[in-house]
Chain A
Amino acid sequence: MKFGPLVFLAAFLGLSASWYGLVLTPQVQLGRATQETNSVVKTELYPVGRPGLAREGLEVYRANGCAYCHSQQVEQKGTLIDVVLTEVGTNSMNVANALNEAHVGDGKFNGPSVGAGLPKPVLKGATIENASVLANVLKKAGATAELHLVPTGSDIERGWGMRRSVAQDFISDATVMPGSLRVGPDLANVGARLPDLNWQLVHLFNPAAVTKGSPMPPYRFLFERRKIGKQPSPDALKLMGEFAPAAGYEIVPKPEAKALAAYLISLRSDVPLYEAPLTPPPAPAAATNAPAK
């Protein structure tokens, strides 16, 4: 071939283009990421590192190949906005008229009713443009309104997360395994969905015990079946009915099982970020010891 070295060089450049674009550039952009602020509560940092036991659990997750059936990447199709009225201000008639003119709801707002049951959403599932317009209108009428972000997508509707997964979610993990097949549900936020340690352990020991008909294999080798000593162990699994061990025996998790369960419970990524904005749900009211009224 006449242009041998030239062709070789061109082929080499062609093949290294993908290295440049898919290996070097992402590393430059994302490789040195550090903690970011929570975009709503700006004094909080995200992500906080996983506690030690959860980090060991990540190694158990990797060694047993959990990523071959479970993904850790939540998708998002779009973001809709709810306009939530928080205060009516001094002239509720104005506000009601403004809402009716904007053809919001069924146009039947009137002075007294518009201020009832606040805070309440007056427009749901709107685009950002329409929502901003309405918020301005309400502001001019003297009311205060908030815009609440509502991410949409089938993953989010299934409760697998409140927003999509982004690079920031993974910076504190030694091995990042987003998965490639969803035989089972996505686990990016399983710690928010199923935070009970005993549930996670029982599910690992025998998935059929908590999810009937589950194709997930039982991870019995992570547990130990032993005779109950003088007292049952505080770690023993609470199993019911046909899944409970024989009388006099208890199932106790080995350190690997505890680590894996701790890792699963640490998987929470519902924090609003600049690149994945979210309106977090209102925190539940603080519990008090005061007697019920």
Chain B
Amino acid sequence: MNSPTNQPASNAPDSSAKAPALPIWLIIVFFMLLYWGAVYFDEHGGWFDAQIYSPYVSAEQLKTYQVGGGPNVFEQGRQVYGRTCFTCHGAAGMGQPGTFPPLAGSDWVNEEQPGRMIRLVLQGFSGPGLKINGQPFNTGGAMVPWNSLSDDEIAAVITFVRGNKEWGNKAGPVTPAQVAAIRAKVKSHSQPFSPTELEAISPAD
């Protein structure tokens, strides 16, 4: 207003010789708050785990609260897999190169809609031209149809494979109703599916 210049002097390069330093108490407060913040985040932050919501504080603690009843489809699927599938696809879902395709991290397994995978299990799979994750895969043998398994068992084993985080699969589960619906659709198709046939079918079918 009535100042001689428009320039606040602290903008000048040679402004006030004794520029006051930061008060020490402010620095102490700052570091105390940082320490508190670190402790608080450690206790309440769940360490960036996307599954931990307050009031739970850790993955271990959340696990202890899983006391819900109901049939454990995942475990049932694991048992079906151990009886039936692991001989070819391996205990870790890695398959055998050149013969049996892997299930771990496969794009066929991780599709959002499980239609193709259910057809595979129900009616079997054979023929050339299989591509997994974009890479061609030579299958030595064929996959036999497993329509002798019940809808519940098929749903359980597919849920287990699709949702097995240890194998890197994170697709959604499958219900027995979905299996029954596809079983009805493929009744007329007696031969195992070939890769080209399956690729032609939309996954949402």
Residue numbers of A with Cβ under 8 A of B are: 25, 29-30, 34-37, 39-45, 76-79, 81, 128, 132, 146-149, 164, 166-167, 272, 274-279
Contacts and interface: CB of A to CB of B under 8 A. Distances in A.
- The secondary structure that dominates the A interface is loop
B65 A43 contact: no
B135 interface: no
B95 interface: no
A277 B55 contact: no
B53 A166 contact: yes
B175 A45 contact: yes
Contacts of A44: 175
Nearest to A278: B68
Contact of A164 (B50, B53, B70): B53
Contacts of B72: 42
Contacts, number: 76
Contacts of B175: 43-45
Contact of B65 (A36, A42, A77, A128): A128
A172 B66 CA distance: 25
Interface string B48-64: 10111111100001101
Contacts of B51: 274-275
A113 B37 CA distance: 53
Contacts of A79: 55-56, 65
A37 B159 CA distance: 10
A274 B64 contact: no
B69 interface: yes
Contact of A277 (B66, B73, B112): B66
A45 B68 contact: no
Given A34-B112, A275-B62, 13 more contacts: A34-B171, A34-B172, A36-B172, A39-B68, A42-B159, A43-B173, A43-B176, A45-B173, A45-B175, A79-B65, A128-B61, A132-B64, A277-B68
